Amino acid sequence: MTGKIGLVGLGLVGTAIAERLLAKQFAVVGFDIDSAKCDHLEELGGKAAGSPGEVAQEADRVILSLPDTEIVRQVVEGPTGILEAKTPPTYIVDTTTGDPEETIALAKRLTERGIYFLDATISGSSQQVRNKEAVFMAGGDKAAFETCMDIFETLTEKVFYLGPSGNGSKAKLASNLILGLNRLALAEGLVFAGKLGLDPEAFLELLKVTPAYSAAMDTKGKKMLSRDFAPESRIRQHRKDVSIILKYAEKAGQDLPLSSVHLDVLEQAIAAGDAELDNAAVIREIERRKRL
C-alpha cells in the first residue's frame, strides 16, 4: 500500500520518523503545535498542515508521535482533531508510550467508526529510529497491522505483532521498566568506578565484554562520560513512563522497589533542572547524591 502518510507530532521521534519516510519517497503531511517544527518538516521535503484534522483529510494512514495518551485523545477526538476531517483516515498508528486501558478504550471507539487503531510503540531513541535500529511493538487488528507493514519496514528491521489493542502499550511499559533500570545501573556503576579510582572510559569498554553488558552501554555510556546530554530521549518523558509503570503495578498488586527508587531519581533530576536533557543525564543525579 502506498499513498501519502500523515504524521501528528514532530518532536524528536516524530521528526526521525518523517526523515525515514521521506528518504523512502513517501509523501508526508504533518502537524505539530510548534510552528518551527512544521517549518522544519517542509525543509525536509514534507508538507505542513494547520491541524490534525487537516492531516487526516489528506492521508488515509496517520502516524501519531505524542507525549501521552491524553494528548492522543485530544488529537484524535478533540476540536480540529482527526475525526473532524470530512473523510477520516482508515488507519491510525500510534507510537506514543501511553496508558494501556485508555488506549484500548480509544481503539474500541474508533473501531465503531470503521477506523483501525494500532498501538505501535517504539523501544529506542530518536537516533535509533533514524538509524532504523529501534524496535516496534504493535497491538491491534492483525489485518490492519499487515496493511501498514510497508510503514513499519521503512522505519525498522524489528517489528513484533503482539495481539489485541493495548498490547503494544503494555509491552512498551514492561520494556521501558528494564531499559530505564539498565541506564540507571550503568550511571551508578560508572560513578562508583570513578570513585574507586578507575578510568571510567576504560571501565566502560571492559563492561561491554562482561556478563554485566546491556545495550544501554552502547547507546548511553559514551554520552554519560562525554557529558553529551543533547536529547535523543528526555528525562521528563521517561519520568512519565515510570509513573505509568508504577500505576499499573499497583493495579496488579505488584511491588516494584527498584522502579520506585528510579522514579525518585528522575523527579530529583527534574527538580535540579535536567528535565529536557537526554536520559543519559541521569548520571548527573547520581553524582549529586551524597551519603550523609
Higher pLDDT pick, 292 / 30: 30
pLDDT confidence bin for 3, thresholds 50/70/90: confident
Q: What is the mean pLDDT of residues 15-23?
A: 97
pLDDT band at 290 (very low <50, low <70, confident <90, very high): confident
Mean pLDDT of the residues in the chain:
96
Q: Does domain 5-164 have CATH number 3.40.50.720?
A: yes
Q: From residue 35, how far is each of 32, 51, 69 by CA, in Å?
A: 7, 11, 22
Burial 27-46 (b: 16+ CB within 10 A, else e): bbbbbbeeeebbebbeebeb
Instruction: State mean pLDDT over 39-63.
Output: 97
Grid cell in block for residue 30: 504533518
pLDDT at position 291, please? 72
Q: How far apart are CA 203 and CA 46, in angstroms?
A: 44
CA–CA separation, 4 vs 257, rounded Å? 46
Q: For residue 2, is pLDDT > 60?
A: no
CA geometry: angle at 161 spanning 156 and 164, to 5°? 140
Helix or strand (DSSP H, E) at 260: helix 257-271
Tell me: the pLDDT tens digits for 70-129? 999 999 999 999 999 999 999 999 999 999 999 999 999 999 999 999 999 999 999 999
Is pLDDT of 45 > 60?
Answer: yes
pTM beyond 0.95, yes or no: no
Query: Domain locations in the chain?
Result: 5-164, 170-288
- Statement: 170-288 belongs to CATH 3.30.1280.10: no
Helices and strands (DSSP H and E) totals, the chain: 15, 8
The answer on pLDDT for 1 being more than 70 is: no
pLDDT tens across 177-222, in order? 999 999 999 999 999 999 999 999 999 999 999 999 999 999 999 9
Percent of all residues in the chain with a pLDDT value above 70, rounded to a whole number: 99
Contact 41, 17 (CB under 8 A): no
236-286 residue pLDDT tens: 999 999 999 999 999 999 999 999 999 999 999 999 999 999 999 999 999
Cβ contact 41:28 at 8 Å: yes
Strand-strand pairing, 135-139 and 116-123: antiparallel
Query: Is the pLDDT reported for residue 165 higher than 60?
Result: yes
CATH topology identical between 5-164 and 170-288: no
